[in-house]
Chains A and B, each alone.
Chain A
């Protein structure tokens, strides 16, 4: 049984609301009393995923599932998909436009940063269909 399950829509190219879902998720986890280190790692990964939805996807959502042993964060979108995942994962690779770079994003570090911060990272993508990223964060067991 999960303690909490919630989905947050993310709109493409909307830089005003970009990050609001991640901020909300961070607030929820803090309120639940989740370990500060986990909240920090998850917030970074979540924000990276949200920014990717904003700058690269046709729109999508972030969903949060808090379980007793772990937290599952899923980023899902409706396209355009990633043709070469290995290339996309490499640090420094980015297809972001100059406009996006002017906003401070598009350094090509996002996917690698998500993988680094999550305890488990899985990415699935199909061109023309969309991308799904699942990140799992283990919750420390009280001694």
Chain B
């Protein structure tokens, strides 16, 4: 699906200055532990998280993750948002919980990451 579909499914709002609605999204990872995200990377992955610090964007930068959704109405820190804007990472926010947001995307056809070599 496209990031635009993700936005629609989650009734999410754009938080970054630029959101690439046409971005291809094939799988998702939901976690507040960046250590876990780093262990299961996959291409065309959207990250769902409740963690709002700058290390979220650093992790995305390292893994070439182009889109992040903050759940449960949480807002990224100023540094995180700045880093996202600098690196062209699309940031969305939804009021849904991490669990519900994950479930909706899974039902919508997204799969999880794997433990394969990056």
Residues of A within 8 A of B (CB): 15-16, 18-19, 22-23, 26, 37, 40-41, 43-44, 46-48, 51, 101, 103-110, 112-113, 116-117
User: Contacts A22-B62, A23-B58 known; A105 to B53 CB distance under 8 Å?
Assistant: no
Q: How far is B118's CA from A41's CA once the two chains are assembled, in angstroms? A: 6
Given A40-B64, A116-B117; A107-B58 close (CB under 8 Å): no
Q: In the assembly, what is the distance between CA of A51 and CA of B36, in Å?
A: 13
B55 interfacial contact with A, CB 8 Å: yes
The reply to whether A19 and B58 contact each other, CB–CB distance below 8 Å, is yes
B55 touches A19 (CB 8 A): yes
What residues of chain A lie closer than 8 Å to B54, measured between beta carbons?
15-16
A104 touches which one: B35, B63, B117 (CB < 8 A)? B35
> Is B38 an interface position by the 8 A CB rule?
yes
Give the CA-CA distance A43 to B63 in the complex, in Å.
8
- Closest chain A residue, CB of each to CB of B51: A104
Binding site for A on B (CB under 8 A): 32-36, 38-39, 41, 51, 53-56, 58-59, 61-64, 79, 117-118
A127 to chain B, nearest CB (A): 24
B89 CB, min distance to chain A CBs, angstroms:
13
Pick 14 A–B contacts, CB within 8 A, sort by A.
A19-B55, A19-B58, A19-B62, A22-B62, A23-B62, A40-B64, A43-B62, A103-B51, A104-B53, A104-B59, A107-B39, A108-B35, A116-B117, A117-B118
Give min CB distance, B36 to chain A, whole Å.
Answer: 5
Question: Is B62 a contact of A26 with CB atoms below 8 Å?
Answer: yes
Closest to B33 in A: A107
- CB-based nearest A residue for B34: A104
- Residues A117 and B33 in contact, CB atoms below 8 Å apart: no
Say whether B39 contacts A113, CB under 8 Å. yes
Residues of B within 8 A of A23 (CB): 58, 61-62
B79 CB contacts on chain A under 8 angstroms = 16
Complex contact A18–B58 (CB within 8 A): yes
